[in-house]
Copies of this chain bind each other. A is one copy, B any other.
Amino acid sequence: MPLHAPAATTAASARELIAAQGGRVTRTRVAVIEALQRSAHPLSHDELGAVLDGADIAHDRVTLYRALDWLVEQGIAQRIAGGERAWRFEIRRGDDHRHAHFHCERCGQIVCLEDVPTASAPHLPAGFELERAELVLHGACADCGRAAAKGSAR
């Protein structure tokens, strides 16, 4: 189980999450959900592929994309734009999933900032409907900030 207390809907096994949406419980989906639950930060397709490489499941790029798409579609996971061109994914933990993210420009890592809320009630122009907000802070993370002079890349 993750160190981050997985809040409300937890102990929720991957199988339960999948079955609750009427989807088929496949090895790929289970492995993806468990990998995301274990991870302390959002994962990209690429990172996820690396994690799943050790598992007994196959690692086809397309299958992974589609499994992730399905999870997002069902509201089990959510996409984060991050700093680079690639999406990152994390498991949604209940309704209070509206936290900000920190993107380290040195190591490229994305960190969840559980304590930092995204904008709650910005006043939008008339006619605009807000569905969700995404706040990404850019800078240097603790590790890279301290070792700023080293220039270590990921």
- What is A's interface to B at a CB cutoff of 8 Å? 81-83, 85, 100, 102, 105, 113, 115-116, 118-119, 122-143, 145-146
Copies in the complex: 2
Closest residue of B by beta carbon distance from A141? B128
What CA separation (Å) do A115 and B129 show in the bound complex? 16
What CA separation (Å) do A133 and B136 show in the bound complex? 6
Asked if A136 contacts B81 (CB within 8 A), the reply is: yes
What CA separation (Å) do A119 and B145 show in the bound complex? 20
Contacts of A127 in B (CB 8 A): 141-143, 145-146
Closest residue of B by beta carbon distance from A146? B127
Asked if A132 contacts B138 (CB within 8 A), the reply is: yes
Contacts of A133 in B (CB 8 A): 135-138
Contacts of A113 in B (CB 8 A): 122, 124-125
Asked if B123 contacts A135 (CB within 8 A), the reply is: no
- Known contacts A81-B81, A82-B81, A136-B81; is A105 also within 8 Å of B131 by CB? yes
Asked if A116 contacts B105 (CB within 8 A), the reply is: no
Asked if A102 contacts B124 (CB within 8 A), the reply is: yes
